[in-house]
Structure 1
């Protein structure tokens, strides 16, 4: 390090370490993953986990924290939730939940626009993120039914350990769209056992 670099570092500190992209690709599931995922969807564990998540979401809306903890995002045009990973869920179960949420949204006449996996090195942390981006199928007649808005679902790992799943619905404020449907109805549907068929 030169003398001037040393002075600069003392005055201003070190800059943020650059982020290096290691992977940027479309998500492709193996046949064995798909088979395990299909079995998981019909398991008792899945039914119980979804019920627990719905109860937690419902009570969190009332201001009461339940296990598993759900964090809520509520604003005028963006609504969603985040579920932080706990070891008791199991890494595979948590990962299946990510794909399950996308499957549930697709049943509401949504189309999957993008499924992408990125991996970045941020200092000593390697962040892996999988993202499903879904849009409602819509006609050309205005006002357009935007349903719940565009839905983005993320599954995030740090150093090969799950950290969280986020689901966010972003609606359009434009007059050519109908007002977005109530996000709570979407949450109830995707966590509903009846909607699995």
Structure 2
């Protein structure tokens, strides 16, 4: 009878059921070009420098707007940027697309670009996510594989159609088949062109 209950529950959901939709989507070449143009403008460079500086200030215990949250563990490191002034809604999207292009420029390949729409505590959360992997090759099985910095996810989160935060997370391979990942601080320097 469990099968019938599950089937009926899917056809006639109760009050407690949550909606979750996942879909692939694409970003046009024009959107990418506009985002990169903005990132290379004085306004874009200032916004990126502010985020980069606020990341380092946060590590020292100082909060500045937009607030940056530091994510650290032995196998994953990253940061999240809260949507706050002086960032605009347009900046939020440009940074998301532009950072994705910067990651590709580091030698990564984009594996997916998807959007998840879900109901969370009476809010609608939309998460747009890039997922990147290093250019792995098994051409020479005698050598370890260079994982660069590890796998990278880049997320843009909206709550009730309002920007909430951007998150970048780098997860390293702990497998003996891979070379040790490059340091996360170097990733930050390259991502924000601070080196």
TM-score range, shorter chain: 0.7 to 0.9
**2:25 — aligned with what?**
27
| Shift of residue 32, structure 1, vs aligned partner | 5.5
8 Å contact kept, 2:36–2:98: no
Cα separation, partners in 2 of 1:123 and 1:17, compared to 1, 3 Å: farther
Q: Contact 1:17/1:123 (CA < 8 Å) preserved in 2?
A: no
Are positions 1:148 and 2:146 aligned together? no
Q: Is the 8 A contact 1:18 1:123 kept in 2?
A: no
5+ long unaligned stretches in structure 2: 1-14
Task: Evaluate the alpha carbon distance shift between residue 24 and residue 76 of structure 1 in structure 2; reply closer, same or farther with a 3 A threshold.
Answer: same
Q: Considering only aligned residues, what root-mean-square deviation do their CA atoms show, in Å?
A: 2.1
Gaps in structure 1 of 5+ consecutive residues: 1-15
Question: 1:91–1:62: structure 2 CA closer, same or farther, 3 Å change rule?
Answer: same
- Where does residue 86 of structure 2 map in the other structure? 88
User: 2: CA distance between counterparts of 1:128 and 1:153?
Assistant: 14
Corresponding position: 1:70 with 2:74: no
Higher RCO (CA < 8 A, seq sep 6+): 1
Q: What's the secondary structure of 1:37's corresponding residue?
A: helix
Ranges of 4+ aligned residues in structure 1 off by more than 3 Å: 30-36
TM-score, normalised by the number of residues in structure 2 = 0.83
Q: What TM-score do you get using the length of structure 1 for normalisation?
A: 0.82
CA distance in 1, matches of 2:33, 2:148: 31
Report how far residue 30 of structure 1 moved. Answer: 4.4
Residue range with higher mean Cα deviation, 39-48 or 166-175: 39-48
How does 1:77-156 map onto structure 2 within 5 Å? 77-140=75-138, 141=140, 142-156=143-157
- Secondary structure class of the residue paired with 1:89: coil
Give a deviation string over 1:96-121, Cα, whole Å, max 9, x none. 11111111111111000000012112
